[in-house]
Amino acid sequence: MRAAVGRRQASRLGDGPTLTEVEDPKDGKTVKRLGSASVPGSTGTRFAWIGAHDRAGNKDCCAKVVRHLNDRLRGSGSTETPPGNHEKQTLLSPRPGFASFQESAGPLNNNHGANQMDLGINGRVAVVTGGDSGMGFKTAEFLLREGVKVVLTDIDDAQLQKAAEELAAYGEVRAVAADLSRSKGIEVLAAFANMAFDDKPTILVCAAGITGASGDFLELTDDDWLEAIQTDLMTGVRATRAFIPGMRKAGWGRVVLFSSEDAVQPYVEELPYAAAKAGVLNLAKGLSKAYGPDGVLVNAVGPAFIATPMTDAQMEKKSKEKGISFDEAVKQTLDEERPGIVAKRRGKAEEVAAAVVFLCSERASFITGEFLRVDGGSVMTMGA
Ligand SMILES: NC(=O)c1ccc[n+]([C@@H]2O[C@H](COP(=O)([O-])OP(=O)(O)OC[C@H]3O[C@@H](n4cnc5c(N)ncnc54)[C@H](O)[C@@H]3O)[C@@H](O)[C@H]2O)c1
């Protein structure tokens, strides 16, 4: 997947993005690729341009983005080159077309591979937060398979680049690392995403989230609460505020916010998380009413006990604390805390991603303000 590099010549554009000339091993032509940048005052905020090359007409676009972001990073229009080595490059040769679902996914995807339903979003641009892991990653993959161009974002630069490299096999991905629990992070994401492709994003999937502090309510501090609220609620607030205006202008938009079963069925050990996710539900409903008339449909999904790094960490903690194996921890959780899950197993990221991509699609044109539980039956009531 990663193209071999014949020759590199980095053009440093300061403490920011770099354009690097490389020789494409396929045809020997020199192409330009955008490197990564650090953003002063915003810890860990980086971006990387993945898989862009001028054969696809991106050369000018690359240069434009480099100039724009460098100006933003410097806080001026200065062209002076500050010191700093930023030659890290991600060079990819995306496979043309999209792999069929049968090729790499399990039986779940076989129906999709038959292309029985055109989701009608081919060519659109999506932003996926929390995109380098778990359900965000799978959602990005499924969107790419539908021909959607994806701006992938997450907090850890190295992990994000790795994920973007993997996803480039399925379509066009641009990646920018940002801490969305801070307003600076969303500024960087918005600037990048609005210039990443010719079209602006009209699909937004907010999957960034943390379990946050857990334990006895009486022991939890304000900071514990604020951490969960900043990440589990405010990342969605900031992202919708940044991208809904573009959708309104386009007269078409889809937003899917990751809530949780916890929003309607709080687990007493995870109250900051549960309350923040309840806020997400409320946000989704409110936004659906506010911007539905402009063609922007906003929904929330409510997964429960999905096998991702998030619940892996919870199960590892439980297995250590109780001196039981990982599998025993999963079984115990299912028996004692998730008796409603009829399949008696954790859900799969792709089972949630499929629902999310449907909600992002043209086919979901009469669904808004909905809370779609993808929880295997964990929430045992009929209502939200
Ligand atoms: N796994 C479950 O059982 C489950 C159940 C209900 C809801 N959810 C929700 O689904 C979403 C996806 O979770 P997952 O299970 O795939 O977990 P995950 O940990 O695999 O993915 C979450 C991603 O969010 C990113 N993130 C965290 N803080 C961030 C920040 N400040 N800025 C940018 N990115 C940040 C993380 O780096 C991570 O990659 C989350 O919102 C989670 O709360 C998960």
Per-residue HEC secondary structure of the chain comes to: CECCCCCEEEECCCCCCCEEEEECCCCCCEEEEECEEECCCCCCCEEECCCCCHHHCCHHHHHHHHHHHHHHHHCCCCCCCCCCCCCCCCCECCCCCCCCHHHHCCHHHHHHHCCCCCCCCCCCEEEEECCCCHHHHHHHHHHHHCCCEEEEEECCHHHHHHHHHHHCCCCCEEEEECCCCCHHHHHHHHHHHHHHCCCCCCEEEECCCCCCCCCCHHHCCHHHHHHHHHHHHHHHHHHHHHHHHHHHHHCCEEEEEECCHHHCCCCHHHHHHHHHHHHHHHHHHHHHHHHHHHCEEEEEEEECCECCHHHHHHHHHHHHHHCCCHHHHHHHHHHHCCCCCCCCCCECHHHHHHHHHHHCCHHHCCCCCCEEEECCCCCCCCCC
Task: With a cut of 90, say whether residue 268 has pLDDT above it.
Answer: yes
pLDDT at 382: 87
pLDDT at 383: 76
* 45 located within any domain: yes
* 154 located within any domain: yes
pLDDT at 115: 55
Query: What ligand 1 atom has the least distance to the C-alpha of 208?
Result: 24
Task: With a cut of 80, say whether residue 125 has pLDDT above it.
Answer: yes
Residue with CA closest to ligand 1 atom 40: 209
Task: Verify that 118 and 68 share a domain, yes or no.
Answer: no
pLDDT at 280: 98
Paired sense of beta strands 173-177 and 149-154, if any: parallel
Task: Verify that 89 and 107 share a domain, yes or no.
Answer: no
Task: With a cut of 50, say whether residue 112 has pLDDT above it.
Answer: no
CATH code for the domain of 114: 3.40.50.720
Domain range for 83 is: 1-93
Task: Verify that 156 and 283 share a domain, yes or no.
Answer: yes
Give the count of domains, the chain: 2
Task: Verify that 363 and 220 share a domain, yes or no.
Answer: yes
Task: Verify that 254 and 273 share a domain, yes or no.
Answer: yes
With the most atoms of ligand 1 within 8 angstroms of its CB, the residue from 210, 337, 346 to mutate is 210
Query: How confident is the model over 142-164, as pLDDT tens digits?
Result: 999 999 999 999 999 999 999 99
Task: Verify that 351 and 215 share a domain, yes or no.
Answer: yes
219 Cα to the center of ligand 1, angstroms: 24
Task: Verify that 72 and 52 share a domain, yes or no.
Answer: yes
129 Cα to the center of ligand 1, angstroms: 9
Query: What ligand 1 atom has the least distance to the C-alpha of 273?
Result: 43
* 330 located within any domain: no
Least confident of 4-8, 126-130, 232-236: 4-8
> Would you say the pTM of this structure is higher than 0.85?
no
Task: Verify that 245 and 199 share a domain, yes or no.
Answer: yes
Task: With a cut of 50, say whether residue 88 has pLDDT above it.
Answer: no
Task: With a cut of 50, say whether residue 73 has pLDDT above it.
Answer: no
* More confident site: 318 or 32: 318
Q: Take residue 230 and report the two structure tokens written for it.
A: 């900043």
* More confident site: 108 or 180: 180
91 Cα to the center of ligand 1, angstroms: 27
Residue with CA closest to ligand 1 atom 44: 303
Task: With a cut of 50, say whether residue 367 has pLDDT above it.
Answer: yes
Residue with CA closest to ligand 1 atom 11: 207
pLDDT at 63: 42
80 Cα to the center of ligand 1, angstroms: 39
Task: Verify that 123 and 166 share a domain, yes or no.
Answer: yes
With the most atoms of ligand 1 within 8 angstroms of its CB, the residue from 182, 231, 310, 372 to mutate is 310
Query: How confident is the model over 162-193, as pLDDT tens digits?
Result: 999 999 999 999 999 999 999 999 999 999 99
pLDDT at 238: 98
pLDDT at 47: 44
* 122 located within any domain: yes
244 Cα to the center of ligand 1, angstroms: 22
* 379 located within any domain: no
Q: Please identify, among 46, 67, 93, the residue that sits at the C-terminal boundary of a domain.
A: 93
Query: What ligand 1 atom has the least distance to the C-alpha of 306?
Result: 3
When the pLDDT of each residue in the chain is averaged and rounded to a whole number, the result is 79
227 Cα to the center of ligand 1, angstroms: 14
With the most atoms of ligand 1 within 8 angstroms of its CB, the residue from 132, 133, 167 to mutate is 133
Q: What are phi and psi of 293, to 5 degrees?
A: -60, -20
Query: What ligand 1 atom has the least distance to the C-alpha of 259?
Result: 7
Residues with CB under 6 A from ligand 1: 129-130, 132-136, 154-156, 179-181, 207-210, 231-232, 235, 258, 260, 303-306, 308-311
207 Cα to the center of ligand 1, angstroms: 6
Task: Verify that 200 and 214 share a domain, yes or no.
Answer: yes
**Calpha distance 174→100 (Å, rounded):** 22
Task: Verify that 2 and 150 share a domain, yes or no.
Answer: no
Q: Take residue 86 and report the two structure tokens written for it.
A: 């930023």
Residue with CA closest to ligand 1 atom 38: 130
Residues taking part in catalysis: 273
